[in-house]
Chains A and B, each alone.
Chain A
Amino acid sequence: MQYSFYDWDGIGPATPAGLDNWKAIFTQPELLQSVVNAFVLVVFYTVLPVGLGLVAASFIRELKPGAFSTTARVVLFVPQVLPLVAAGIAWTWMYSSDGLVNQVLRAVGLDQYTRAWLGDFTFALPAVGVIGVWVMLGFCTVLLLAGIGKIDPALYEAARLDGAGPVSEFFAVTLPGLRRELVVCTTFTIIAALASFDVVQIATQGGPGYQTMVPGVQIYRMTFLQQHVGQASALAVFLAVVVLLVIWPIQRLGRQK
Chain B
Amino acid sequence: MRSLTHYCGTLRAAGVAAAAALLLAACAPGGNSEAGPVPSKPVSTGIGSEPVTLKLLVTSGVDVPFYTALGKLFRAKYSNVTVKVENQDYATLTTTIARTLAGNNVPDLVRVPQLGNLTKDHLLINLDPYAEAYGWHEWPQSQFASTRVGPDGRQRGTGSLYAAGAGFGLTGVYYNKALAQRIGMTRPPATVAEFEQLLAKAKDAGLQPIMINGKDGGSVYPLQNLVMSYAGDAQAVQDWNYTKPGASIDTAATVRAGTTLQRWGQAGYLPADVNDIDQTRAPAEFIKGNGVFFPSGNWQAPGLDKTGPGQFGFFLFPPGVAGGPSYTMTAAANLGIPAKSPNADVAAAFLDFAQTDQQARQETVTLGGLAPAGPSDAPAPTTPEGSAVAATVSAFQELLKSNGLVGFMADATASIHVNSLIPQTQLLLAGKTTPEAFAAKVQSDYERDLGR
A interface, CB within 8 angstroms of B:
1-3, 5-16, 28, 30, 95-97, 115-121, 205-210, 213, 221-222, 224-227, 229, 252, 255
Stretch with Cβ within 8 A of A (4 or more), from B21-29, B297-305, B375-383: B21-29
- Picked from B117, B277, B414, B418, the residue with its CB within 8 Å of the CB of A11 is B117
B120 within 8 A of A: yes
Are A16's CB and B28's CB within 8 A? yes
- Given A1-B18, A12-B120, A13-B33, the answer on whether A121 and B418 have CB atoms closer than 8 Å is no
Are B276's CB and A119's CB within 8 A? yes
A225 to B426, CA, bound (A): 21
A209 to B277, CA, bound (A): 14
Q: Which residue of B lies closest to A95 (CB)?
A: B276
Are B31's CB and A8's CB within 8 A? no
8 chain-A/chain-B pairs, Cβ below 8 angstroms: A2-B25, A9-B117, A119-B277, A121-B430, A205-B422, A207-B422, A208-B215, A252-B3
Are B116's CB and A227's CB within 8 A? yes
Are A12's CB and B33's CB within 8 A? yes
A224 to B28, CA, bound (A): 20
B163 to chain A, nearest CB (A): 18
Contacts of A7 in B (CB 8 A): 451
B181 within 8 A of A: no
B282 to chain A, nearest CB (A): 12
8 extra interface residue pairs, beta carbon distance < 8 Å, beyond A2-B21, A115-B273: A6-B25, A11-B30, A11-B31, A13-B33, A119-B275, A206-B423, A209-B424, A225-B95
Interface bin, chain B: 35 or more
Are B30's CB and A12's CB within 8 A? yes
- Given A119-B215, A225-B94, the answer on whether A11 and B275 have CB atoms closer than 8 Å is no
A221 to B416, CA, bound (A): 11
Are A30's CB and B29's CB within 8 A? no
Contacts of B423 in A (CB 8 A): 206-210, 213
Among the interface residues B214, B276, B281, B449, which one has the most CB atoms of the partner chain A within 10 A?
B276
Main secondary structure of the interface of A (DSSP, over half): loop
B121 within 8 A of A: yes
A200 to B276, CA, bound (A): 14
Contacts of A121 in B (CB 8 A): 430, 432
A121 to B28, CA, bound (A): 42
A28 to B117, CA, bound (A): 24
Contacts of B28 in A (CB 8 A): 6, 8, 13-16
Are B31's CB and A13's CB within 8 A? yes
Q: Which residue of A lies closest to B114 (CB)?
A: A225
A169 to chain B, nearest CB (A): 31
B427 within 8 A of A: yes
Contacts of A6 in B (CB 8 A): 25, 28-30
A226 to B414, CA, bound (A): 5
Are B21's CB and A1's CB within 8 A? yes
A2 to B24, CA, bound (A): 7
B123 within 8 A of A: yes
B393 to chain A, nearest CB (A): 32
Are A118's CB and B276's CB within 8 A? yes
Contacts of A3 in B (CB 8 A): 29
- Picked from A14, A207, A222, the residue with its CB within 8 Å of the CB of B426 is A207
Are A221's CB and B418's CB within 8 A? yes
A210 to B424, CA, bound (A): 9
Contacts of B277 in A (CB 8 A): 119
B214 to chain A, nearest CB (A): 8
A7 to B25, CA, bound (A): 12
Contacts of B79 in A (CB 8 A): none
B4 to chain A, nearest CB (A): 9
Are B29's CB and A96's CB within 8 A? no
